[in-house]
Structure 1
Amino acid sequence: MSASTTLGDFFRVRKEKGEAGLPTLSVTMNDGLVDRADLDRKMETNLAPEEHLRVREGDIAYNMMRMWQGAFGRAEKDGIVSPAYVVVEPRENMDSRFAAHWFKSARMIYLFWAYSYGLTQDRLRLYADDFCHIPAGPPSLPEQKRIAEALDAYDQAIARENAYVAAKKRQFSWLYKEIFPDSSATLPDGWKAEPITSVAKVRFSGVDKKSAQGEIEVRLCNYMDVFNNRRITADLPFMDATATAREIEAFALQHGDVVFTKDSETAEDIGASAVVAEPLDNIICGYHLGIARAKPKHVTGEYLAYALRHPWVREEFRKAANGVTRFGLNLDVMDQVHVLVPSLERQKAIAAALHAVEDEIAILTKQADALRLQKKGIMQRFFGEESLVANEAAE
């Protein structure tokens, strides 16, 4: 295909009026073109159906103000869309399934940005005429179809893995609610509500991220390491820093410790916890975090991490947090907030059951991530050469 061709050689702009009885579709950043009725946010319109644009199966509809961020979708059925969108239909030499993948490539996203106009970044618009002037050199139609089939297969596989992950997360939520009493008001036999400080030794870290000459080199377990993970293991990408000998003695993480967020930009994020799941070497608890070291006669670390996640414990943390732009806990709060504690034998069984489900979630998530990485590599192979052609034409 000639490098002098443009998207207008492969698409024509559809300006057909909408019709009553067709579903109203909306463009989303992550899910493409979806039924407006299915969106979590309700979007009302006073426009009549004929004031909308008609979109037909196989068309591409995009948000003029967000196309440079990849806000477009391929229509899987006929419908109507906002007149603020642009609708383009594929010509005979274009497979729109291929285009739906092609338009997500880094090079095409760059071109959508380069051909958008506006005084500021958040006011950029890609008008229909400018869309049609974007240089483009896609492969032949048979090759487009082959590429689309391969990438569609990846999308289907990723969707299946995501569905499995979602199902496992629902299973975990159900299991957690079945295991833990709703509150401390009416506890089953064998359960007690204990102050956190009765079952664990708690300390708040003040170790910052700075490296200072004369201090000892360490690796820091920081806020996001805890917030994004349920288990702290040696393979996490800890930050290099330094600390004093006293800080290392006080805040070096041990197997079984529970690390939790003690302050955050929102009170709701306080109390996110993760257990140190294995012995660590020279890993220090960083600023904005607390350590709850389980007292072995009362509680296990694995169980305590789950107990701290209980909704009413998190709510107690939220209510106790002080601040305006950043919220934080005082150590005194640890004497006042209670956790639910069964027998040690039951704790171990509960932690094992919940951990087994979380392990399955982690495995399925890694499989989905691996598929996404493979798809990214395939897209680079498919679209890399074409991107260079488009780049040269644009420049």
Structure 2
Amino acid sequence: MVHKTVAGILPDEWRGFLIKHVCKVVRGGSPRPAGSPLYFDGNFLPWATVADLTNSDDMYLTTTKSMLTEAGSERTRITDPGTLMLTNSGATLGVPKISSIRCGANDGIAMLLDLDGIATEFAYYYLSSKTQYFRDVIAPGVGQPNLNTELIGDFPIPVPPLPEQKKIAQILSTWDKAITTTEQLLANSQQQKKALMQQLLTGKQRLLDQNGERFQGEWRDYHLSHVAEIIVSPVDKKSVEGEVPVELCNYTDVYYNHEITRRLNFMKATAKPAEIKKYTLQPNDVIITKDSETPGDIAVPALVSEDLNGVVCGYHLAIVRPNQAVISGAFLNYLFSMPKTRYYFFTLATGATRFGLSVGGINQAHFRFPPLEEQQKVAAVLSVADQEITALQQQLDHLKQEKKALMQQLLTGKRRVKIN
């Protein structure tokens, strides 16, 4: 059976309250003036900031980046271990954390003190399930959105019987441990791949050939123009009279895993019939970004696979079409992925506010390449590393989605747990 509460329709055994009726909501305090050596950069008391609460998905706050002086500790609100905290301002508001240390909290953090009949871990999971709702509905804004103590206090929270709360928190904690383990495996795989790239793409480590012998062929220095054709596409998504429909690829910025990455984007466009053949991608091509306002976005590479065959290259890209008798496109793609290579391309770019690579600039780039067979073996080894990383990333995404769906069920009573 269910009944209607301030926190929505809940099982009969559950109750619903406004947060202010089950705890005291207070805000942290920041010594003024900010940055004063009288209060900050001391060694007396850990100083918790919004960045400390939002730099990881961990449940507990175990450390802070900075410390207060003794005088600074007298001008802040000090929290005890076990305190439930919630970021309340800026773009990262609505993130909960349980402090496992005694620390001062700045005024961008709220605290829920003296929880009555609510397990801290249960409240943490419930608030974390509402982070996006806090941002989109309760405290939206483009300037400095603020989730003040009144808004927090007036927010409803479901309250199951205490044993059920603890069981729910225990189940979700198990999922968190699985997610953390997978994140660590993913980070290790990414680091191992970086180390492999540094060793294999520079010749510091040589692989075994098909006979089981270490590759011995000499690495040679080539100008890119001697081993590849450079094609800069003029095709844009704007329609011009007399052009015909094509599928166009370009890069787009995507927010993924807490950072901005560049991903290939596909769209319908038009192109002159005479240009289509020249600028159509072929398997083994490597496409790179040729201009950007950000230096780090110059020469972002992508290897053209069979499923991209026939797509037309977009305006902000250049095609590097390797001579397949000499250069492996897959090896070239990994080489271009190295930060050192990307910086090298940036030094060849021109411009003050928007940086651009010309055909001439790309042509004059030169690199050391091993014999083709070794290139192919290196690319194959790195491809296996990529497959492992992709599998772990997919596993991590799946775990997070499953946990999110489970939270929606468990924290609202739609799915009940068994209590021993």
**TM-score of Structure 1 vs Structure 2, range by shorter chain:** 0.7 to 0.9
User: Who is 1:25 aligned against?
Assistant: 48
**Equivalent residue in structure 1 for 2:287, among 256, 259, 284:** 259
Alpha-carbon offset, residue 58 of structure 1: 2.9
Q: Name structure 2 gaps, 5 residues minimum.
A: 7-15, 31-42, 205-215, 255-260, 415-420
User: Who is 1:76 aligned against?
Assistant: 100
**Equivalent residue in structure 1 for 2:123, among 99, 105, 128:** 99
Measured in 1, the distance between the counterparts of 2:67 and 2:234 equals 46
Alpha-carbon offset, residue 85 of structure 1: 2.9
State whether residues 217 and 371 of structure 2, in contact with CA within 8 Å, keep that contact through their aligned partners in structure 1. no
DSSP-derived class of the 2:117 partner: coil
User: Who is 1:349 aligned against?
Assistant: 377
Q: Which amino acid aligns with 1:297?
A: A
2:348 is aligned with 1:327: no
Alpha-carbon offset, residue 57 of structure 1: 3.1
DSSP-derived class of the 2:378 partner: helix
Alpha-carbon offset, residue 24 of structure 1: 3.5
State whether residues 61 and 75 of structure 1, in contact with CA within 8 Å, keep that contact through their aligned partners in structure 2. yes
User: Who is 1:232 aligned against?
Assistant: none
**Equivalent residue in structure 1 for 2:18, among 6, 14, 17:** 6
Q: Deviations over 1:59-101 (max 9, x none)?
A: 2123332387323322234433235532212523212212222
Alpha-carbon offset, residue 47 of structure 1: 4.8
Computed over aligned residues only, the root mean square deviation of the Cα atoms, in angstroms, reads 3.4
Measured in 2, the distance between the counterparts of 1:215 and 1:285 equals 15
DSSP-derived class of the 1:239 partner: strand
Alpha-carbon offset, residue 26 of structure 1: 3.3
If each structure's strand is expressed as a fraction of its own residues, which one has the higher value?
2
State whether residues 291 and 357 of structure 2, in contact with CA within 8 Å, keep that contact through their aligned partners in structure 1. yes
Alpha-carbon offset, residue 53 of structure 1: 2.3
User: Who is 1:163 aligned against?
Assistant: 184
DSSP-derived class of the 1:203 partner: strand
Question: CA 1:16/1:324 → structure 2, altered by over 3 Å: closer, same or farther?
Answer: closer
Q: Which amino acid aligns with 2:292?
A: S
Q: Deviations over 1:118-176 (max 9, x none)?
A: xx643333333442222333434333323322322222211111111110111011111
2:109 is aligned with 1:85: yes
Alpha-carbon offset, residue 299 of structure 1: 0.6
Measured in 1, the distance between the counterparts of 2:193 and 2:289 equals 22
DSSP-derived class of the 1:86 partner: strand
Measured in 2, the distance between the counterparts of 1:134 and 1:314 equals 48
DSSP-derived class of the 2:342 partner: helix
Question: CA 1:17/1:240 → structure 2, altered by over 3 Å: closer, same or farther?
Answer: closer
User: Who is 1:153 aligned against?
Assistant: 174
Question: CA 1:210/1:384 → structure 2, altered by over 3 Å: closer, same or farther?
Answer: farther
DSSP-derived class of the 1:151 partner: helix
Q: Deviations over 1:7-34 (max 9, x none)?
A: 012222468999x965433333352664
User: Who is 2:153 aligned against?
Assistant: 132
Q: Which amino acid aligns with 2:382?
A: L
Q: Name structure 1 gaps, 5 residues minimum.
A: 230-235, 387-395
**Equivalent residue in structure 1 for 2:195, among 174, 181, 195:** 174
Question: CA 1:338/1:29 → structure 2, altered by over 3 Å: closer, same or farther?
Answer: same
| Range 68-77 or range 172-181, more displaced | 68-77
User: Who is 1:142 aligned against?
Assistant: 163
Q: Deviations over 1:330-354 (max 9, x none)?
A: 1101221112211111111111111
- Counterparts of 1:367-386 in structure 2, within 5 Å, are 367-383=395-411
Q: Which amino acid aligns with 1:261?
A: T
Measured in 2, the distance between the counterparts of 1:102 and 1:352 equals 45
DSSP-derived class of the 2:320 partner: strand
TM-score, with normalisation over the residues of structure 2?
A: 0.76
Measured in 2, the distance between the counterparts of 1:16 and 1:330 equals 53
Measured in 2, the distance between the counterparts of 1:218 and 1:12 equals 61
Question: CA 1:9/1:57 → structure 2, altered by over 3 Å: closer, same or farther?
Answer: same
DSSP-derived class of the 1:332 partner: helix
Alpha-carbon offset, residue 200 of structure 1: 0.7
State whether residues 90 and 96 of structure 1, in contact with CA within 8 Å, keep that contact through their aligned partners in structure 2. no
Q: Which amino acid aligns with 1:24?
A: W
Q: Which amino acid aligns with 1:222?
A: N
State whether residues 68 and 110 of structure 1, in contact with CA within 8 Å, keep that contact through their aligned partners in structure 2. no
Q: Which amino acid aligns with 2:399?
A: L
Measured in 2, the distance between the counterparts of 1:7 and 1:371 equals 29
2:73 is aligned with 1:49: yes
Alpha-carbon offset, residue 213 of structure 1: 6.8
Question: CA 1:46/1:355 → structure 2, altered by over 3 Å: closer, same or farther?
Answer: farther
Measured in 1, the distance between the counterparts of 2:174 and 2:96 equals 20
User: Who is 2:417 aligned against?
Assistant: none
Q: Deviations over 1:268-293 (max 9, x none)?
A: 21111111233534312112111111
Measured in 2, the distance between the counterparts of 1:129 and 1:290 equals 54
Question: CA 1:141/1:245 → structure 2, altered by over 3 Å: closer, same or farther?
Answer: farther
